[in-house]
Amino acid sequence: MVTTIQPTQTAAWANGVLQPANAFGPVPLTVLAGAVPPGLRGSLYRNGPATLERGGQRVGHWFDGDGGILGLHFTDGGTTGVYRYVQTTGYQAEKQAGKFLYSSYAMLPPGQWWERFNKGLKNVANTSVIALPDKLLALWEGGLPHALTLDTLDTLGLDDLGGLDGAAYSAHPKRDPKTGDIFNFGVSFGQHGTLNVYRSDASGKVQQHNKIPLQGLPIIHDCVLAGRYLVFCVPPVRLNALPVLAMLKSYCDALSWQPEKGTEIIVVDRTTLQVVSRSETEPWYQWHFGNGGELADGSIAFDFVRYADFQTNQFLREVATGHTETLAKGTLWQLRLEPKSGAVLALEEVVDRGCEFPTVQPEQVGEPSRYTYLSLHRRDTVLQHELFGTIARFDYQTATLTEADLGTNRYPSEPIYAPDAIHAGQGWLLTVVYDADLDRSEAWIFDSDRLDDEPVCKLALPHVVPPGFHGTWRGER
The C-alpha atoms of residue 148 and residue 404 are separated, in whole angstroms, by 33
Pick from 436, 320, 332: which is nearest to 377 by CA? 332
| Residues comprising the chain, all counted | 477
Determine the pLDDT at residue 291. Answer: 98
Contacts of 472 (CB under 8 A, 6+ apart): 44, 45, 128, 129, 130, 131, 416
The C-alpha atoms of residue 19 and residue 352 are separated, in whole angstroms, by 33
Structural domains in the chain? 3-475 (2.130.10.10)
Whether the link from the prior residue into 235 is cis, omega within 30° of 0, is no
CA distance readout (Å), 373 to 63, 408, 417, 440: 23, 20, 8, 24
The C-alpha atoms of residue 131 and residue 426 are separated, in whole angstroms, by 22
Contacts of 297 (CB under 8 A, 6+ apart): none
Vertex 379, ends 377 and 310: CA angle to 5°?
A: 40
Which of helix, strand or coil describes residue 318?
helix
Q: What is the DSSP string of 68-96?
A: EEEEEEEETTEEEEEEEE---HHHHHHHH
Determine the pLDDT at residue 327. Answer: 96
| pLDDT tens digit at each of 477 positions of the chain | 444 434 445 789 999 999 999 999 999 999 999 999 999 999 999 999 999 999 999 999 999 999 999 999 999 999 999 999 999 999 999 999 999 999 999 999 988 877 888 788 999 999 999 999 999 999 999 999 999 999 999 999 999 999 998 899 999 999 999 999 999 999 999 888 999 999 999 999 999 999 999 999 999 999 999 999 999 999 999 999 999 999 999 999 999 999 999 999 999 999 999 999 999 999 999 999 999 999 999 999 999 999 999 999 999 999 999 999 999 999 999 999 999 999 999 999 999 999 999 999 999 999 999 999 999 999 988 889 999 999 999 999 999 999 999 999 999 999 999 999 999 999 999 999 999 999 999 999 999 999 999 999 999 999 999 999 999 999 987
The C-alpha atoms of residue 305 and residue 365 are separated, in whole angstroms, by 17
The C-alpha atoms of residue 300 and residue 347 are separated, in whole angstroms, by 12
Residues 251-284, buried b or exposed e (16+ Cβ, 10 A)?
bbbbbebebebbbbbbbbebeebebbbebebebb
Contacts of 271 (CB under 8 A, 6+ apart): 228
How many Cα atoms sit within 13 Å of 451 on the Cβ side? 27
CA distance readout (Å), 350 to 95, 161, 396: 45, 38, 9
Contacts of 100 (CB under 8 A, 6+ apart): 2, 54, 55, 57, 59, 94, 107, 109, 110
Pick from 292, 129, 175: which is nearest to 224 by CA? 292
The C-alpha atoms of residue 221 and residue 165 are separated, in whole angstroms, by 20
Determine the pLDDT at residue 12. Answer: 95
Residues 70-101, buried b or exposed e (16+ Cβ, 10 A)?
bbbbbeeeebbbbbbbbbbebbeebeeeeebb
Determine the pLDDT at residue 401. Answer: 98
Determine the pLDDT at residue 341. Answer: 97
Determine the pLDDT at residue 4. Answer: 40
Q: How many CB atoms lie within 10 A of CB 465?
A: 27
Can you say how many angstroms the Cα of residue 12 is from the centroid of all Cα atoms in its chain? 23
Determine the pLDDT at residue 5. Answer: 39
The C-alpha atoms of residue 241 and residue 248 are separated, in whole angstroms, by 10
Which of helix, strand or coil describes residue 253?
helix
